[in-house]
Amino acid sequence: MENVEKLNEIKEKAEEYYKSIGDIYCPYLKRNVSFNAKGLDHIKFKEWEKARLASDQYLRLKFIKVTPEVIGNTNTLQEYKETRCFERQKINSRWEQRMVDVKYYGFVAIIKKTRVKIIVKEIVGGNPYFWSVIPFWKSRKNPIVGQIKKIFHEGDLETQ
């Protein structure tokens, strides 16, 4: 029960803070990045109506507070991806899936000894908006399969 209470507490604080952010000017994009409901929903849900694991939500919500600083100070792009994908859009008073061109910008920073990656999403023809925060990670190679896996956290989330 204690973990549920901690998650609810951090969720409440993070949501309140997130709603107060508004827009942040990004020097790299030379435009404002919006902090809208889509980004907050993505942190809590992996996809439409499918919640992330509580530990994943907790970790991402905990690092919301560093996102404006990273976006507002970044002059370099570490990752970039262009793709076409289905996006939920409200058209004629109902939700529909539409195929759209999407750009993802990834900014990596170390803030207070913590490495984070901030993802900004832009649907072509629209304004960029905050999409996700991915906390520090370590890479581990599985000796049997040979795959490299990202480890986002180990041990107690409260002390990291």
Q: State residue 156's pLDDT score.
A: 39
Kindly report, residue by residue over 56-78, the tens digit of the pLDDT: 888 888 889 989 999 999 999 99
CA gyration radius, the chain: 17
Q: State residue 160's pLDDT score.
A: 34
Q: How far apart are CA 16 and CA 34, in angstroms?
A: 16
- For the whole model, what pTM was predicted? 0.78
**Could you give the percent of the chain with pLDDT greater than 70?**
86
Q: Are 54 and 105 in contact (CB under 8 A)?
A: no
Confidence of residue 1 (pLDDT cuts 50, 70, 90): very low
Kindly report, residue by residue over 75-91, the tens digit of the pLDDT: 999 999 999 988 877 77
Residues 117-142, mean pLDDT to the nearest whole number:
85
Residue 88 zone, left/alpha/beta (φ > 0; ψ -120 to 50; rest):
beta
Please, what is the average pLDDT of the chain?
83
* Sign of the alpha-carbon torsion through 91, 92, 96, 99: negative
Residues 110-133, mean pLDDT to the nearest whole number:
89
* DSSP-derived pairing of the beta strands 148-151 and 50-51: unpaired
Question: How is the chain split among helix, strand and coil, in percent rounded to 5?
Answer: 30, 40, 25
Residues 91-98, mean pLDDT to the nearest whole number:
83
What b/e readout covers 18-42, taking b as 16+ CB neighbours within 10 angstroms?
Answer: beebebbebeebeeebbbbeebbeb
